[in-house]
Amino acid sequence: MGLGRAVDFTTLLGRSAVEPSDLVRVAHVRAVSDGLGLICELPDKRRIGVPRHLIDPSSEVRHPGDEGTLVIPERLAKDLGLDGSS
């Protein structure tokens, strides 16, 4: 008997576990690949690794090839050196 699919409790029922006021929106991001996290290219051409489970359900950038606004928790944005104005 298999264990089935893993459940991502941070986005249970399509809702974020983070308050909207604690989210940062980073515009003009392009997801270039994935692995342990989603690798995203910023407008200044820097690449960052974003843990998939921390990407908010409202984010336009969730999978390789996606382009748009990346929505992540403020704490992660600070850890990655982002201020939301990119």
pTM score, two decimals? 0.74
Domain enclosing residue 74, as ranges: 13-79
CA distances for 21 relative to 10, 16, 72, angstroms: 16, 11, 11
85 in a domain, yes or no? no
84: in domain: no
**How far is 75 from 42, CA to CA, in rounded Å?**
18
DSSP helix/strand/coil, 16:
coil
The number of beta carbons lying within 10 Å of the beta carbon of residue 72 is 26
Decide if 61 is inside a domain: yes
Asked whether residue 6 is domain-assigned, the answer is no
Domain-embedded: residue 5: no
Is 45 part of any domain?
A: yes
- pLDDT in the model for residue 19: 72
Domain count, the chain: 1
Give a yes or no: residue 53 inside a domain: yes
In a domain, 7, yes or no: no
pLDDT > 80? residue 70: yes
Q: 16-20, 74-78, 79-83 — which is least confidently predicted?
A: 16-20
